Structure formats: structure tokens, C-alpha cells
Amino acid sequence: MSIFVDETTTVVIQGVSPTSQGLYHGLRNRDYGTKVVAGTNPRRGGEVIEGIPVFASVKEAVEATGATASFISVPPPHAAAAIEEAAEAGISFVVCITEGIPAQDEARTYNRLVQEFPRTRLLGPNCPGIISPGKCNIGITSGDIAMPGGPVGIVSRSGTLTYQALHELSQQGVGQTTCVGIGGDPVPGTNFIDCLAAFEADPDTRAVMMIGEIGGSEEERAAEYIAANLTKPVVSYVAGVTAPPGRKMGHAGAIVSGSQGTAQAKMDALSAAGVTVALNPTEAGERMVEIVKALP
């Protein structure tokens, strides 16, 4: 099985035009086998671009095609409104890869989804998306580095390390059920615990790889959840051991303040929860391969 998306997921690309990033990545997703059924653009409703029917709104797209997921890569000033439009149209899974959305907009939109549209799950913003190998790919992850067949689920804050985790496992012949890039912004729509709970409930996911980074306390919260709820082995790597305090590193949420959010503190919390903590991404892959080989 997989989590959040599978071979039945149907996708609408929001903000599609002949030169848009949404179209570029949406076509790559379609080539992978993802069911891309529609696009939206208020100025191009009624057109067909690269075989994709374009509608003026998400609501019209959903009514015409029954789309269940949306892919958003519109510019930051318009991304929050695009997320809310998808939720209002009844989309159940929204993937937003847009980087640079103002934190105030993220917080307002996240709270509105929680309060008014609890059936809509947002992945991102500022994330690489999600791939269930051999079934569905929404976002910018290359399908070439993923391997279907399980048994490992991957969740990562870092986009680049998401790709490396996939590659490390695939190179060793270890497949993945789903790989979720949750993004590194301060207000993620989907967090570690959401993914860990879904992987715990998925019978085909038998082990989990979790990639964290400096900043915030999501990894510590995940460690508490793992200790109390997970029955499956977890391997983790936390990026940023050498990052200086008070300096943002990469993502908007990757900032260390005093003793809060350091890589070492996160690693200690995860180790205490029984997680196998690696010192680099390659070692994380190696430890996971050892665990998979030992699975009954």
C-alpha cells in the first residue's frame, strides 16, 4: 500500500500555462503515470494545453473531472489563495511546492484549513512533494531514483536529502512504499507525526526513515510520538550538526535559537526514543538496509 496518494489519485494542476513550472513538473508527473486530469487558469478556461483540459477554477475542474488532489507551484503572493481555493472546491490532498510564502499567510491558511476544511490535507508549502513509487508522483521528485515494492516509508524536511534517501535505498535494492517531503517552512501543512501515524497504519510499510534538520522542535515531538506509538523500526538523520546558533540555514524554519532546535538535541531525543540515529545520509541508508534484511 501507500499513504496519502496511490494509483487512483487524480490531479489538477493549479496555475497552468504553456510556460509555467506547474505544467513542466505536471507533465513529468504524468509521464511517470500519475493521473493528471485537469489544469486551472482563470484566463485560459476552455483551452487544452499538452493534452490537459484547462478550467477557469478548481471548482469547475473538480465538477468536470472528479479530481481528488491538486498540485500548486504558483508564485508566493498567490499561493495561499490557491490552497484555499482547492480546499473550497473539495480537494482532499493539496501539494504546494511554492517557496517564499509569507509566514503570516501560511499560518492564516493553515488555521483556516484546520477549522473549516478538516478533510483537506496540505503537503508543504516549500516541499518537493510526494511519491508512491510505481503509483503516483506529485511534485518535483524524480521517479528515476524511487523503487516500488516497499517496505520502507520515508519522511523528510529536506528536499535534497529526500532525494538522497530514495537513491541510497534504491541503490541497495530496498523499495519504498511512499516518500513524503514535508518541507522546511515554519508552518507545514503536514508534519512528521502525521506521516509517522500513516506509516504505522500502513501494513506494507515495515520500517521508516525520517530525515530532520535544525530549527524548531518537530523532531523532538516526533521522538515523543515514536516512543509512545510506533511499533516499526525508525532510522533517522538530522542535518545541521555544525550549524552556528542564530543563523538560518536553508529553509525558513531552519534556525537555531540558543539551545533550541540544535541538531544534537534532536539526535539525543530520537536516540532516547529508540530510533537508530545516523551521522550522515549514507549511513542512514546503510542502517536501514541492515534493518530491512533482518525483518522477519
Q: Which residues are catalytic?
A: 251
Per the structure block, which three cell numbers stand in for 128?
518537493
Which of 210, 151, 144 shows the shortest CA–CA distance to 177? 151
Rounded Cα distance, 53 and 36, in Å:
10
* Structural contact between residues 126 and 160, judged by C-beta atoms closer than 8 angstroms: no
Enumerate the β-bridge partners of residue 137: 131
Enumerate the β-bridge partners of residue 33: none
For residue 291, what is the DSSP state?
A: H
Residue 132's alpha-carbon distances to 1, 118, 137, 176, 295, in angstroms, are 9, 23, 6, 7, 21
Enumerate the β-bridge partners of residue 13: 39, 71
Q: How far is CA 179 from the centre of its chain?
A: 7
Reported as half-sphere exposure (CB side, CA atoms, 13 A), residue 257 has a value of 3
Rounded Cα distance, 76 and 125, in Å:
10
- State the Cα torsion 166-260-101-188 to the nearest 10°: 50
Per the structure block, which three cell numbers stand in for 70?
491538486
Which of 33, 28, 278, 288 shows the shortest CA–CA distance to 150? 288
> Which is it for strands 121-123 and 52-55: parallel, antiparallel or unpaired?
unpaired
